[in-house]
Amino acid sequence: MPYRLSTFGGRYAANRGAMEPVLSPCARGRRLLHRNVTSRYMVMENVTELTRDRAPVLKAAIRRLRQLARATPDGDFVGSEQELSDLLGISRPTFRQAVRVLEQDHLLVKRMGPHGGCYAARPDSRTTARSAALYLQVEQATLRDLMQVSNGLQICLLNLACDSTKSAEKERLKEFVESLSGAAAAEDLARFLVLEREFERLVLDVAGNPALRLFLQIARKFVDESAASQALIANPAMRRMRRSAWMRMGEAILSGNKAACLEVARQQSDAFAALLPGDAMEPLAVGMD
Q: How far apart are CA 142 and CA 148, in angstroms?
A: 10
Asked whether the predicted pLDDT for residue 40 surpasses 90, the reply is no
Q: How far apart are CA 116 and CA 90, in angstroms?
A: 20
Report which of 132, 128, 123 is spatially closest to residue 103, judged by C-alpha positions. 123
Least confident span in 16-30, 182-196, 260-274: 16-30
Percent residues over pLDDT 90 in the chain = 42
Give the homologous superfamily in CATH for domain 126-281: GntR ligand-binding domain-like (1.20.120.530)
Higher pLDDT, 96 or 35: 96
Which strands sit side by side in the sheet containing 108-111, from one edge to the other?
Answer: 77-79, 117-120, 108-111
User: Top-level CATH class of 55-120?
Assistant: mainly alpha
CB 60 within 8 A of CB 37: no
- The mean pLDDT value for 222-232 works out to 78
Q: Is the alpha carbon torsion for 92, 95, 100, 103 positive or negative?
A: negative
Beta bridge partners of 79: 118
Higher pLDDT, 56 or 174: 174
pLDDT value, residue 271: 85
CATH 1.20.120.530 residue spans of the chain? 126-281
Entry pTM: 0.64
pLDDT value, residue 127: 80
Q: How confident is the model at residue 279 (pLDDT cuts 50, 70, 90)?
A: low
Q: How far apart are CA 120 and CA 124, in angstroms?
A: 13
Q: How confident is the model at residue 209 (pLDDT cuts 50, 70, 90)?
A: very high
Higher pLDDT, 141 or 61: 61
CATH 1.10.10.10 residue spans of the chain? 55-120
